[in-house]
Chain A
Amino acid sequence: QLQLQESGPGLVKPSETLSLTCTVSGGSISSSSYYWGWIRQPPGKGLELIGTIYYRGTTYYNPSLKSRVTISVDTSKNQFSLKLSSVTAADTAVYYCARVNIVAMMDYWGQGTLVTVSS
Protein backbone atom coordinates (compact mmCIF):
# COMPACT_ATOMS: atom_id res chain seq x y z
CA GLN A 1 0.00 0.00 0.00
CA LEU A 2 1.45 3.33 -1.04
CA GLN A 3 2.00 5.78 1.81
CA LEU A 4 3.10 9.40 1.82
CA GLN A 5 4.38 11.27 4.87
CA GLU A 6 5.10 14.98 5.15
CA SER A 7 7.84 16.25 7.43
CA GLY A 8 9.30 19.62 8.29
CA PRO A 9 9.09 22.54 10.72
CA GLY A 10 5.66 23.45 12.01
CA LEU A 11 6.58 27.07 12.63
CA VAL A 12 8.23 29.46 10.18
CA LYS A 13 8.99 33.15 10.69
CA PRO A 14 7.63 35.74 8.27
CA SER A 15 9.91 36.46 5.27
CA GLU A 16 11.72 33.13 5.73
CA THR A 17 11.51 29.99 3.60
CA LEU A 18 9.12 27.13 4.34
CA SER A 19 10.67 23.73 3.64
CA LEU A 20 8.83 20.42 3.65
CA THR A 21 9.68 16.91 2.50
CA CYS A 22 7.36 14.11 1.47
CA THR A 23 8.63 10.55 1.87
CA VAL A 24 6.99 7.92 -0.31
CA SER A 25 6.90 4.31 0.88
CA GLY A 26 5.31 1.16 -0.50
CA GLY A 27 6.04 2.19 -4.07
CA SER A 28 8.57 3.96 -6.27
CA ILE A 29 8.58 7.68 -6.87
CA SER A 30 10.13 6.87 -10.25
CA SER A 31 6.85 5.60 -11.70
CA SER A 32 6.36 6.82 -15.26
CA SER A 33 2.60 7.15 -14.76
CA TYR A 34 2.46 9.72 -12.00
CA TYR A 35 3.43 13.16 -10.84
CA TRP A 36 3.94 14.07 -7.19
CA GLY A 37 2.22 17.12 -5.83
CA TRP A 38 1.93 19.58 -2.98
CA ILE A 39 -1.49 20.90 -1.98
CA ARG A 40 -2.29 23.28 0.84
CA GLN A 41 -5.38 24.20 2.84
CA PRO A 42 -5.52 27.36 4.95
CA PRO A 43 -7.52 26.97 8.17
CA GLY A 44 -11.23 26.80 7.37
CA LYS A 45 -10.65 27.18 3.64
CA GLY A 46 -10.44 25.03 0.52
CA LEU A 47 -7.71 23.13 -1.25
CA GLU A 48 -5.08 24.82 -3.42
CA LEU A 49 -2.65 23.01 -5.69
CA ILE A 50 0.84 24.42 -5.15
CA GLY A 51 2.62 22.39 -7.83
CA THR A 52 3.80 19.02 -9.04
CA ILE A 53 7.00 17.28 -10.08
CA TYR A 54 7.76 14.30 -12.29
CA TYR A 55 10.50 11.91 -11.20
CA ARG A 56 12.70 13.22 -13.99
CA GLY A 57 12.43 16.72 -12.52
CA THR A 58 9.79 18.35 -14.72
CA THR A 59 7.78 20.77 -12.61
CA TYR A 60 4.47 22.60 -12.74
CA TYR A 61 3.77 25.50 -10.40
CA ASN A 62 0.49 27.26 -9.67
CA PRO A 63 0.84 30.65 -11.42
CA SER A 64 -0.23 32.45 -8.26
CA LEU A 65 2.72 31.01 -6.31
CA LYS A 66 5.24 30.41 -9.08
CA SER A 67 7.64 33.20 -8.12
CA ARG A 68 8.10 31.76 -4.62
CA VAL A 69 7.90 27.97 -5.11
CA THR A 70 10.52 25.34 -5.78
CA ILE A 71 9.71 21.64 -5.88
CA SER A 72 12.50 19.09 -6.18
CA VAL A 73 12.80 15.31 -6.20
CA ASP A 74 15.36 12.87 -4.80
CA THR A 75 14.69 9.49 -6.36
CA SER A 76 17.47 7.82 -4.34
CA LYS A 77 15.54 8.60 -1.15
CA ASN A 78 12.07 8.25 -2.69
CA GLN A 79 11.32 11.80 -1.55
CA PHE A 80 10.20 15.08 -3.01
CA SER A 81 10.39 18.47 -1.39
CA LEU A 82 8.74 21.88 -1.30
CA LYS A 83 10.34 25.25 -0.69
CA LEU A 84 8.16 28.36 -0.42
CA SER A 85 10.08 31.59 0.05
CA SER A 86 9.18 34.95 1.59
CA VAL A 87 6.30 33.50 3.57
CA THR A 88 3.63 35.60 5.25
CA ALA A 89 0.76 34.78 7.57
CA ALA A 90 -1.31 34.02 4.47
CA ASP A 91 0.85 30.95 3.91
CA THR A 92 -0.29 29.40 7.19
CA ALA A 93 -1.98 26.17 6.15
CA VAL A 94 -2.04 22.41 6.33
CA TYR A 95 0.31 21.20 3.61
CA TYR A 96 -0.41 17.86 1.95
CA CYS A 97 1.63 15.82 -0.47
CA ALA A 98 -0.15 13.54 -2.92
CA ARG A 99 0.30 11.28 -5.93
CA VAL A 100 -1.17 12.86 -9.05
CA ASN A 101 -1.92 11.05 -12.28
CA ILE A 102 -1.60 12.59 -15.73
CA VAL A 103 -5.19 13.81 -15.68
CA ALA A 104 -4.99 15.44 -12.25
CA MET A 105 -6.50 12.67 -10.15
CA MET A 106 -4.96 12.57 -6.67
CA ASP A 107 -5.35 9.06 -5.34
CA TYR A 108 -2.92 8.88 -2.43
CA TRP A 109 -2.46 11.64 0.12
CA GLY A 110 -0.23 12.21 3.10
CA GLN A 111 -1.84 12.97 6.44
CA GLY A 112 -0.92 16.64 6.15
CA THR A 113 1.23 18.89 8.29
CA LEU A 114 0.25 22.25 9.74
CA VAL A 115 2.72 25.04 9.07
CA THR A 116 2.18 28.27 10.94
CA VAL A 117 3.87 31.48 9.85
CA SER A 118 4.46 33.64 12.89
CA SER A 119 7.23 35.52 14.61
Chain B
Amino acid sequence: QSALTQPPSASGSPGQSVTFSCTGTSSDVGAYSYVSWYQQHPGKAPKLLIFEVSKRPSGVPDRFSGSKSGNTASLTVSGLQAEDEADYYCSSYAGSNTRGVFGGGTKLTVL
Protein backbone atom coordinates (compact mmCIF):
# COMPACT_ATOMS: atom_id res chain seq x y z
CA GLN B 1 0.00 0.00 0.00
CA SER B 2 1.28 3.49 -0.85
CA ALA B 3 1.46 6.23 1.71
CA LEU B 4 -0.88 9.18 1.45
CA THR B 5 0.72 12.45 0.29
CA GLN B 6 0.96 15.39 2.67
CA PRO B 7 2.95 18.62 2.28
CA PRO B 8 5.99 18.49 4.58
CA SER B 9 5.39 21.84 6.18
CA ALA B 10 2.88 24.61 6.76
CA SER B 11 2.84 27.79 8.79
CA GLY B 12 0.56 30.51 10.04
CA SER B 13 0.37 33.32 12.53
CA PRO B 14 -1.68 33.22 15.73
CA GLY B 15 -5.35 33.76 15.03
CA GLN B 16 -5.08 32.79 11.38
CA SER B 17 -6.41 29.65 9.73
CA VAL B 18 -4.33 27.03 7.99
CA THR B 19 -5.42 24.06 5.89
CA PHE B 20 -3.45 20.86 5.31
CA SER B 21 -4.07 18.48 2.44
CA CYS B 22 -3.85 14.69 2.34
CA THR B 23 -3.97 13.13 -1.11
CA GLY B 24 -4.66 9.49 -1.69
CA THR B 25 -6.23 7.43 -4.45
CA SER B 26 -9.58 6.03 -5.49
CA SER B 27 -8.69 2.96 -3.43
CA ASP B 28 -8.39 4.73 -0.09
CA VAL B 29 -9.33 8.39 0.50
CA GLY B 30 -11.56 8.51 -2.55
CA ALA B 31 -13.32 5.24 -1.81
CA TYR B 32 -14.23 5.64 1.86
CA SER B 33 -15.31 8.29 4.33
CA TYR B 34 -12.87 6.93 6.88
CA VAL B 35 -10.09 9.49 7.01
CA SER B 36 -8.50 10.21 10.37
CA TRP B 37 -6.15 12.98 11.46
CA TYR B 38 -3.62 12.80 14.29
CA GLN B 39 -1.71 15.54 16.10
CA GLN B 40 1.74 14.75 17.47
CA HIS B 41 3.76 17.06 19.66
CA PRO B 42 7.51 16.44 19.94
CA GLY B 43 8.31 13.42 22.08
CA LYS B 44 4.64 12.52 22.50
CA ALA B 45 2.37 9.85 21.09
CA PRO B 46 -0.02 10.79 18.29
CA LYS B 47 -3.45 11.96 19.42
CA LEU B 48 -6.64 11.35 17.44
CA LEU B 49 -7.94 14.69 16.23
CA ILE B 50 -10.52 13.86 13.55
CA PHE B 51 -12.16 10.60 12.48
CA GLU B 52 -14.55 9.64 9.69
CA VAL B 53 -13.41 12.70 7.71
CA SER B 54 -14.99 15.37 9.91
CA LYS B 55 -15.93 14.04 13.36
CA ARG B 56 -14.12 15.20 16.48
CA PRO B 57 -13.54 13.02 19.54
CA SER B 58 -14.70 14.42 22.83
CA GLY B 59 -12.36 17.13 24.06
CA VAL B 60 -11.01 18.22 20.67
CA PRO B 61 -11.74 21.93 20.11
CA ASP B 62 -14.01 22.87 17.24
CA ARG B 63 -11.14 24.95 15.85
CA PHE B 64 -10.14 21.68 14.18
CA SER B 65 -12.28 20.60 11.23
CA GLY B 66 -11.98 18.05 8.47
CA SER B 67 -13.37 17.62 4.99
CA LYS B 68 -12.89 15.56 1.86
CA SER B 69 -13.26 16.05 -1.87
CA GLY B 70 -12.50 13.22 -4.24
CA ASN B 71 -9.15 11.69 -3.41
CA THR B 72 -8.04 14.56 -1.18
CA ALA B 73 -8.88 15.10 2.47
CA SER B 74 -8.20 18.35 4.31
CA LEU B 75 -7.69 19.46 7.90
CA THR B 76 -8.32 23.09 8.82
CA VAL B 77 -7.08 24.67 12.02
CA SER B 78 -8.83 27.95 12.74
CA GLY B 79 -7.74 30.58 15.23
CA LEU B 80 -4.20 29.28 15.38
CA GLN B 81 -2.64 29.06 18.82
CA ALA B 82 0.96 28.48 19.81
CA GLU B 83 0.03 25.06 21.20
CA ASP B 84 -1.11 23.95 17.75
CA GLU B 85 2.52 23.78 16.64
CA ALA B 86 2.96 20.06 16.02
CA ASP B 87 3.12 17.38 13.35
CA TYR B 88 -0.16 16.34 11.75
CA TYR B 89 -0.72 12.96 10.13
CA CYS B 90 -3.63 11.73 8.07
CA SER B 91 -4.63 8.12 7.60
CA SER B 92 -7.29 6.37 5.59
CA TYR B 93 -9.08 3.06 5.56
CA ALA B 94 -8.21 1.21 2.36
CA GLY B 95 -10.41 -1.86 2.40
CA SER B 96 -10.85 -5.00 4.45
CA ASN B 97 -7.50 -6.42 3.36
CA THR B 98 -5.59 -3.62 5.06
CA ARG B 99 -5.70 -1.78 8.34
CA GLY B 100 -5.11 1.67 6.94
CA VAL B 101 -2.35 3.77 5.47
CA PHE B 102 -0.67 6.90 6.84
CA GLY B 103 0.44 10.10 5.20
CA GLY B 104 4.00 11.33 5.63
CA GLY B 105 2.97 14.12 7.99
CA THR B 106 2.90 17.93 7.90
CA LYS B 107 4.88 20.01 10.37
CA LEU B 108 2.89 23.08 11.43
CA THR B 109 4.84 26.11 12.58
CA VAL B 110 3.00 28.90 14.38
CA LEU B 111 4.92 32.07 13.55
> A residues engaging B (CB < 8 A)?
35, 37, 46-49, 51-52, 60, 62-63, 96, 100, 103-107, 109-112
Grouping DSSP codes into helix (H, G, I), strand (E, B) and loop, the A interface class, with mixed when no group exceeds half, is strand
Measured in the bound complex, the distance between the Cα atoms of B100 and A107 in whole Å is: 13
What are 20 A-B contacts defined by CB distance under 8 Å?
A35-B99, A46-B104, A47-B38, A47-B46, A47-B89, A47-B102, A47-B105, A48-B102, A49-B100, A60-B98, A60-B99, A104-B36, A104-B91, A105-B51, A106-B46, A107-B51, A109-B46, A109-B47, A110-B45, A111-B44
A41 CB → nearest B CB, Å? 9
Residues in A whose Cβ lies below 8 Å from that of B36: 104-106
A39 CB → nearest B CB, Å? 8
The contact of A103 among B46, B89, B93, by CB within 8 Å, is B93
A33 CB → nearest B CB, Å? 14
Residues in B whose Cβ lies below 8 Å from that of A110: 45
Residues A103 and B32 in contact in the complex (CB < 8 Å), given A35-B99, A46-B104, A109-B45: yes
Residues A106 and B48 in contact in the complex (CB < 8 Å), given A46-B102, A48-B102, A49-B100: yes
9 extra A-B contacts, CB within 8 A, seeds A47-B38, A103-B34, A104-B94: A47-B102, A51-B99, A96-B46, A100-B99, A103-B100, A104-B91, A105-B51, A109-B47, A112-B45
Measured in the bound complex, the distance between the Cα atoms of B99 and A37 in whole Å is: 9
B96 closest partner in A (C-beta): A102
Residues in A whose Cβ lies below 8 Å from that of B52: 103, 105
Query: B1: CB under 8 A from chain A?
Result: yes
